[in-house]
Amino acid sequence: MLFADLTYPNGTKGVVYNDPTYSGIYFKVGAAGVGAWEFSAPLDSTNIFFDLNEDDAPDLAFIAMPSRRAGQSYKVSGAQFADMVNAKLGVADSATAGVAKSISVTAAGEIVQGNTFAVNACNHGVKATNTRAENSARLQEVADIVRAQPYGGRIILPAGNFSFDPVSQVQFEKSSGKYIKLEGEWGATTIDVGSSATPAFYVGSSDTPGGGTNFFCEGIKFTGGSSTAGRAFEFENANGAKFHRCHFGTMQRAITMDASYGVHVTGCEFVNVGSYNIFSSTHCHHLVIDKCDVYNAGVAGTGCVLFIDAGHTDNLVIRDSDFEFCRQIVKADDGLSAPIAEGNYIEYCTADPFDFGTGSYGISMSGNWLALGIAFTFHNWIGGEFSRNGRTIRPSGSLRIASTSISLITESQAPARSTQRPSCIPSRHF
């Protein structure tokens, strides 16, 4: 019946349920009166979707739906499911019988459990076969749906390769008291951000400088056109944004920030990002880079891992990370206060690893391994400590600290490079 009705416009969502052959989610391809319905995703326990509207809400008919974990009973409501009242599509666990979790279906067509709202982006037409513009438009619809919820919610991108259009930049606007989590299936979810100088995704707000974004991105692999083309994210007033276990590879710039504080980047990989892994046009107080693997950063564009273009930054934290064959680690034109660099492995930079354009105060650099291939100078250190850092230096290499009032300088001279662990492209997470 669905296939015979072509009166709907292009992009209309359709759902076939309770059919052993054709159950699933479909999208109309082609203008009204022509085209066809194209299968998008199965209608199963991990991909529940109902196209309800507000008029259905008073007519409640409850059914038990399959859950991701045996023994949990889920309920949905909707008049068109009246013929399926009390239908049991999952296997109940007698040990937890009666311990039902109530889920309501919203007008947006997704599920809510308590305060958690979850959207599978593929249910709204995001597909590997789409054009970049189509995927950006579909994901923007999902972002707007999540932002309209009382507490925000999660956007799930399942395994697949998805391309997005920077010209149609997806906007994750911040809202007070709401969160947005963009979540993939670890390395199995890949996003191609293209080759534009415009980032494919925007987080924050241009007219709301105060407050946090509660934006969280986890488990997605981002790629660009080349090490000199493509940018992933733009942050503006995006305080508190977080990345966890993401991969940024083969692009010009991964994250561009403006007036964004308390940003955390943990457990991520950056490989062959040619210019800047993170570029901040203003100070970026309490930026944390933790447990990251970085390879070949800044080499294609005379860049570095982190460049702070303007503004004196307080409490930058870089720890427990691996930096190999990067041109430079940090360049801060207006200096830093109370920065911390501890427990890092730094190998073969081709420029001064830490370049402070003006006075930087209270620096704590300890417990790092410095494998220096050439001569380095740490400029404009005013107060702080350089302690317990191991280093291996080639015959042509040296280390010099041009500073005042360093309270403690102790280090250990290590054996030649040949006795150290071999360098490699990082592969901790993907």
Mean pLDDT over the full length of the chain: 76
- Would you say 399 and 371 are in contact if contact means Cβ atoms under 8 Å apart? no
Q: How far apart are CA 26 and CA 11, in angstroms?
A: 9
Question: Judging by beta carbons within 10 Å of its beta carbon (0-12, 13-18, 19+), is residue 49 exposed, middle or buried?
Answer: buried
What does the pLDDT read at residue 65? 32
Instruction: State pLDDT tens for residues 220-247.
Output: 999 999 999 999 999 999 999 999 999 9
Instruction: State pLDDT tens for residues 287-298.
Output: 999 999 999 999
- CA distance between the termini of the chain: 44
What does the pLDDT read at residue 193? 97
pTM: 0.72
Instruction: State pLDDT tens for residues 372-429.
Output: 766 677 888 888 888 888 876 555 556 666 655 554 444 444 444 444 444 444 444 4
Which whole-number Å values give the CA distances from 259 to 174, 211, 212, 314, in the listed order? Answer: 14, 12, 11, 13
- List CB contacts of 72: < 8 A, sequence separation 6 or more: 96, 99, 100, 101
Instruction: State pLDDT tens for residues 33-80.
Output: 888 888 876 654 333 333 333 333 222 222 223 322 333 333 333 333
Cross-strand partners of 223:
192, 249
Domain boundaries defined on the chain: 13-105, 111-419
Q: How far apart are CA 160 and CA 141, in angstroms?
A: 19
What does the pLDDT read at residue 28? 81
Q: How far apart are CA 81 and CA 61, in angstroms?
A: 7
Q: Which residue has the higher pLDDT, 312 or 429?
A: 312
Q: What is the mean pLDDT of residues 280-284?
A: 96
Element (H, E) at 133: helix 132-147
Question: Judging by beta carbons within 10 Å of its beta carbon (0-12, 13-18, 19+), is residue 430 exposed, middle or buried?
Answer: middle
Q: Which fold has domain 111-419?
A: Pectate Lyase C-like (2.160.20)
